A and B are shown apart, each in its own frame.
Chain A
Amino acid sequence: MNNKPHLDEEALAELRDVMEDEFGILIQTYISDSRERIQALHQALSDNDQDAFAKTAHSFKGSSINIGAARLGDLCLEAEKAGREGRLDDVRKLLPELESEFATVRHLMEDSLLA
């Protein structure tokens, strides 16, 4: 369903250049923020708070796109839309996909940090 890369290497290289010494901090910040966001998505789902769900998915989308996690960004967009439109079945189906995509991205990032 999505041919976009897990992690845009070119974008990441540019970020490394821009951030210089802070590149590591940026990646760490992204990873820890994303974990919190996934937690918040679960919470919103169990509270049945679709507005909170859509907002969190929106922010998650923005930072994922910015950091080069294009496929994750798309999944966030799907989740944001489904949340806003109250399609809870879709939301339940998307959340695990999103989690597994994040796990992939995180691994790639950690590899990249070690490189």
Chain B
Amino acid sequence: MSNVGHARALRLLIADDSRTDRLILQAMLRRQGHEVRATSNGQEAVELFASWRPDMVLLDVMMPRMDGMEAARRIKAMAGEILVPVIFLTSLSDAGALAQCLESGGDDFLPKPYNSVIIEAKLGAFDRMRRMHETLTGQRDHIRERNQQLVREQETARRVFDNIAHTGCLDAPNIRFHASPMSVFNGDILFACPRPAGGMHLLVGDFTGHGLPAAIGALPVAEIFYGMTSKGFSGGDVLRELNQKLVRILPTGMFCCAFFVEVDFRRGMLRVWNGGLPDGFLVRSDGEKEALASRHLPLGVLKPERFAAPMVEYGARPGDQLLLVTDGVLEATNSEGCPYGEERLAAILAQETGNRSLSDVVLEEVGAFIGDAKGTDDLTILSLCMTEQDPVVGRAVVVSQSALTGPGHWACSYEVENGTLGTFNPLPLLLHVCMAVSGLRQHSGEIYTILSELYTNALEHGILGLPSAWKISPEGFSRYYAEREKRLAAVEGHAIRFELSHRLGSTGGRLIIRCIDTGPGFDTGKILKQADDTGTVRYAGRGIELIRELSSALSYSKQGNQAEVVYDWQLADSGSGTAPV
């Protein structure tokens, strides 16, 4: 755009039926340094334009064999997106005729007599316009191309992302959710994974920022969440690992607001952790609702040694619903620029929604509020309904190798002592040892449940001496867990030992799990008898019942501080795991 005063060499086409006018104009333009070709009629001008592609065209209005206006129309059509200025050479003085010239596609007039100075100035101005147009269309094409490339890259990235996060159980019948297919590029994540012992983990997250950086952060989150959950790690363990990873990989100022939920259908319990997301809601089937406010900093902010992941526990009955939303819902604005906000959300939840899922209700309300269905693309909403039956139980890992490969005959012993009892969960490690046997992998849920029940009984009843009767009432429930924390902190001189052994047969195998605690033991006769009487004993009783259901045999030592479980498994095609080896 510099060099304004000095004309650049242009290719110019002249069409004029008057020879003298043609001679004069040609001479003037050549003296200004341009390359010029001239013709005497419109038809030839159109043909010359097609073959020679001049930068600008100067046309007489009245010419034989196609007049200037028709030639201008055709030349403009041929030029397409390229700006080819068309200037009419005229001594017309009638305003109507001049206007008609411009309507046919002309850009300006050059009056007779020709004046060198005016011609030079006009051509200079049109050349600047022409170049600017060229730059703009070039930049537009470049932007369009880059944008297409970006969309292609995002689609590829999403496929990779879906491959990592696909094993989720968001399709469970009791979960309803809404998220844009490309929500990962809005920084929103939504995961659900069944736990080996039954129940599931849910994670709703919102990364600061948008686009690729947010999506990249979501990858390790998915990997850790699904990997650790299916190995049997607790919510707290998964959260600590997520935080540690995000602190390490995310740049300063970037983090992930998250809502983590551990769902236990069997016990009718929800354990929640909210770090920076809007309030979640637990809406009881009788309409009563509890807000689950954020009590923690988002993931990726605190150094691992300062990060705490205590989860708040809620009892939940079948029909109770949990609702989680990201900022997008509260920030959704209507045409007047007014955000949806917390009050409106709370008002919706106060209404009678019947059996409808809260996710559907909220999505519908927000959509109606913003008055544009397209705007719901940024919303991420999840609702979960508590059910009597675990909706995802038995979602076994598919075993591809032969079930009889891996270690067949082995035994091991693992002991957890004193302070470690309160700070370390040995179950994933023990499950991992068992999972080395291929044939046991499809039974990981049952084995985890057995290990977990044995460990809980040994720790909470055997060593800490907590009475299970407390857990029957809501007040006792919190008292139970408060007391558990207190006694756990003071544990001294105690240990829990697991002794595992396995033998492989021709069509299956037998796993023997022994769990020994250093507690005083208990009256086995009484407990086991109570367990038979299903009406009166709840939690502790159900644990023992469950182990019995899952295993071939359950026995206790005389003092009651040593339990032994026999677990027989068969190859899948030779029947279920009840027949002896």
On whether the two chains bind one another, the answer is: yes
Complex Cα–Cα for A2 and B20 (A): 24
Complex Cα–Cα for A66 and B28 (A): 12
Which listed residue (A11, A20, A55, A67) contacts B20, Cβ 8 A?
A: A67
Query: Chain B nearest CB: distance from A72 CB in Å?
Result: 12
Q: What are the residues of chain A within 8 A of B60 when measuring CB–CB? A: 62
Q: Does A65 contact B (CB under 8 A)?
A: yes
Q: State the interface size on chain A (CB cutoff 8 A).
A: 22
Q: A65-B91, A66-B112, A66-B113 are in contact. Are A19 and B24 (CB under 8 A)?
A: yes
Query: Chain A nearest CB: distance from B317 CB in Å?
Result: 97
Query: Chain A nearest CB: distance from B225 CB in Å?
Result: 82
Q: Does A48 contact B (CB under 8 A)?
A: no
Within 8 A of B (CB), among A32-78: 33, 55, 58-59, 61-63, 65-68
* In the complex, per-residue mask of A10-29: 1 if CB is within 8 Å of any chain B CB, else 0: 01001100111010011001
Query: Chain B nearest CB: distance from A11 CB in Å?
Result: 6
Q: What are the residues of chain A within 8 A of B405 when measuring CB–CB? A: none
Query: Chain B nearest CB: distance from A109 CB in Å?
Result: 12
Contact A62 B23 (CB under 8 A): no
Within 8 A of A (CB), among B11-27: 17-21, 23-24, 27
Specify the chain B residue showing the minimal Cβ separation from A68: B113
Contact A66 B27 (CB under 8 A): no
Which listed residue (A18, A30, A66) contacts B116, Cβ 8 A?
A: A18
Q: A18-B28, A66-B112, A68-B113 are in contact. Are A61 and B91 (CB under 8 A)?
A: yes
Q: Does B466 contact A (CB under 8 A)?
A: no
Which listed residue (B24, B31, B62, B113) contacts A58, Cβ 8 A?
A: B62
Beyond the given A26-B24, A33-B20, A63-B21, please list 8 additional residue pairs across the A-B interface where CB-CB is below 8 A: A15-B24, A19-B23, A19-B24, A22-B23, A58-B91, A66-B20, A66-B21, A67-B24
User: How many residue pairs bridge A and B at CB < 8 Å?
Assistant: 54
Specify the chain A residue showing the minimal Cβ separation from B18: A63
Contact B62 A29 (CB under 8 A): no
Q: What are the residues of chain B within 8 A of A15 when measuring CB–CB? A: 24
Query: Chain A nearest CB: distance from B66 CB in Å?
Result: 15
23 contacts between A and B (CB under 8 A): A14-B116, A15-B24, A18-B28, A18-B116, A19-B27, A25-B23, A26-B24, A29-B20, A30-B20, A33-B20, A59-B17, A59-B18, A62-B18, A62-B21, A62-B91, A62-B112, A63-B20, A66-B20, A66-B21, A66-B24, A67-B20, A67-B24, A67-B113
Contact B113 A26 (CB under 8 A): no
Query: Chain B nearest CB: distance from A83 CB in Å?
Result: 13
Most A CB contacts (10 A, CB to CB) among B23, B31, B112 go to: B23
Q: What are the residues of chain B within 8 A of A22 when measuring CB–CB? A: 23, 27
Contact A26 B21 (CB under 8 A): no
Contact B20 A26 (CB under 8 A): yes
Q: What are the residues of chain B within 8 A of A14 when measuring CB–CB? A: 116
Complex Cα–Cα for A30 and B27 (A): 15
Q: Does B114 contact A (CB under 8 A)?
A: yes
Which listed residue (B31, B62, B114) contacts A66, Cβ 8 A?
A: B114
Query: Chain A nearest CB: distance from B387 CB in Å?
Result: 92
Q: What are the residues of chain B within 8 A of A66 when measuring CB–CB? A: 20-21, 24, 112-114
Specify the chain B residue showing the minimal Cβ separation from A69: B113
* In the complex, per-residue mask of B364-391: 1 if CB is within 8 Å of any chain A CB, else 0: 0000000000000000000000000000
Residues of chain B whose beta carbon lies under 8 Å from any beta carbon of chain A: 17-21, 23-24, 27-28, 31, 60, 62, 91, 112-114, 116
Q: What are the residues of chain A within 8 A of B112 when measuring CB–CB? A: 62, 65-66
Complex Cα–Cα for A61 and B89 (A): 13
Complex Cα–Cα for A19 and B20 (A): 11
Q: What are the residues of chain A within 8 A of B23 when measuring CB–CB? A: 19, 22, 25-26, 29
Contact B20 A18 (CB under 8 A): no
Complex Cα–Cα for A69 and B341 (A): 81
Q: What are the residues of chain A within 8 A of B24 when measuring CB–CB? A: 15, 18-19, 26, 66-67
Q: What are the residues of chain A within 8 A of B114 when measuring CB–CB? A: 66
Q: What are the residues of chain A within 8 A of B28 when measuring CB–CB? A: 18
Contact A59 B27 (CB under 8 A): no
Query: Chain B nearest CB: distance from A54 CB in Å?
Result: 10
Complex Cα–Cα for A68 and B20 (A): 12
Query: Chain A nearest CB: distance from B93 CB in Å?
Result: 8
Contact B31 A59 (CB under 8 A): no
Complex Cα–Cα for A15 and B74 (A): 33
Query: Chain B nearest CB: distance from A32 CB in Å?
Result: 9
Specify the chain B residue showing the minimal Cβ separation from A19: B27
Query: Chain B nearest CB: distance from A49 CB in Å?
Result: 15
Contact A33 B113 (CB under 8 A): no
Q: Which 6 A-B pairs have the closest CB atoms?
A: A63-B20, A30-B20, A62-B91, A66-B113, A63-B18, A65-B112
Complex Cα–Cα for A15 and B115 (A): 10
Query: Chain B nearest CB: distance from A106 CB in Å?
Result: 13
Most B CB contacts (10 A, CB to CB) among A22, A29, A66, A67 go to: A66
Query: Chain B nearest CB: distance from A93 CB in Å?
Result: 22
Q: What are the residues of chain B within 8 A of A18 when measuring CB–CB? A: 24, 27-28, 31, 116
Complex Cα–Cα for A11 and B31 (A): 17
Q: What are the residues of chain B within 8 A of A68 when measuring CB–CB? A: 113
Query: Chain B nearest CB: distance from A36 CB in Å?
Result: 10
Complex Cα–Cα for A15 and B25 (A): 10
Contact B19 A29 (CB under 8 A): yes
Specify the chain A residue showing the minimal Cβ separation from B91: A62
Q: What are the residues of chain B within 8 A of A25 when measuring CB–CB? A: 23
Specify the chain A residue showing the minimal Cβ separation from B92: A58
Contact A33 B18 (CB under 8 A): yes
Q: What are the residues of chain A within 8 A of B27 when measuring CB–CB? A: 18-20, 22
Contact B62 A59 (CB under 8 A): yes
Query: Chain A nearest CB: distance from B335 CB in Å?
Result: 58
Specify the chain A residue showing the minimal Cβ separation from B115: A14
Query: Chain A nearest CB: distance from B98 CB in Å?
Result: 14
Specify the chain A residue showing the minimal Cβ separation from B16: A62
